[in-house]
Amino acid sequence: MKRGDVVMEFGKFVLPKAELQPIYRKVGDTYIEISDRKAVVGENGKVYDIVSDKYKLVQHEEVKEIVDKIVEEMKLKSAVKIPKISIDGATFFYNVIIDRKAIEDDWLDLGFRVTNSYDRSLGVNVTGYIIRLACTNGLVIGEKLFGRKIKHMRPLVELDYKLLKEAIETVIENIMKVLDVIEMARKKTVSVWEIVHFIETEFKNMPRAKRILYSRMRRKVGDEIDKVVKAYQLMKKLKKKEERKQLIEKYDMPVNLWEAINVVTEYTTHQLERRNPQIAHSISKKAGELLLLAKGD
């Protein structure tokens, strides 16, 4: 079993649980309970968070059971469910694939992702989710790609069956529209500066990640990417607009948008997600928003 996989017990997925435990402070030789605070503690003994005594803890298993019930009620008989858990047990991703489509020879699995966490890094939330079969890269699709605000797509404070079902229905209704944007992205080239800016911004304090990403970008555009990265660092020191413009023009080159997005999602899916799933989810979602460049947004 790989690290981060869900444990199997007697043919059933076993998701880690957590509970609210009292917190005490030492006063002299005695300990007094802090009545308005609780600790969220996992079965592994890890303290995930300190919360208010009014906080309602949602178990990963509760989320899974409700999503399973919604999928059954919606008669999504061909749905493929892929549960994932972070190494420390704090974060739960429930990916549900409902369809498979191809854009020419590029096959994609489409569906939705429901999240939950014990450390409040991710609430109970629904997003679109797409897996590219050629490399099994996962792409998180947020409401910006749907072109409008989606009711109940923001994290729920409490687990609510009706609201969760409405969010899932809305994502399913809109996920197919993203295929048109992906088709445009496959044919679209953007300035390499757009991609370098994305990497430098989203992976700002992750030097190892940047080295890996630029190494993979070299396979797409050659060693010229190194000159662009150096020029990007230099540009931040330039005060005159004209000097920055000249620098951009000197080192500019076209990059295929869909290939660039997959450079990012390959890293977030296969390396970052196991170590830091919350950040991987967030960056993958922002990588999905790069698709908007295909529409000229």
CA distance 89 to 274: 11
Domain ranges of the chain: 14-52, 60-175, 188-295
CB of 264 within 8 A of CB of 285?
no
Give the Cα separation of 247 and 235 in Å (integer): 7
With 0.95 as the threshold, say if the pTM is over it.
no
pLDDT at 9: 46
Please give the pLDDT value at position 154.
55
Successive 10-residue mean pLDDT values, the chain, 297 residues: 45 82 94 96 95 92 95 93 91 95 94 94 90 93 68 59 90 91 95 95 94 94 93 88 89 94 94 86 92 83
Measured in whole angstroms, the distance separating CA 94 from the mean position of its chain's CA atoms is: 12
The total number of residues shown for the chain amounts to 297
Report pLDDT for 148: 46
The pLDDT assigned to 196 comes to 95
The pLDDT of residue 278: 86
Q: Are 19 and 57 in contact (CB under 8 A)?
A: yes
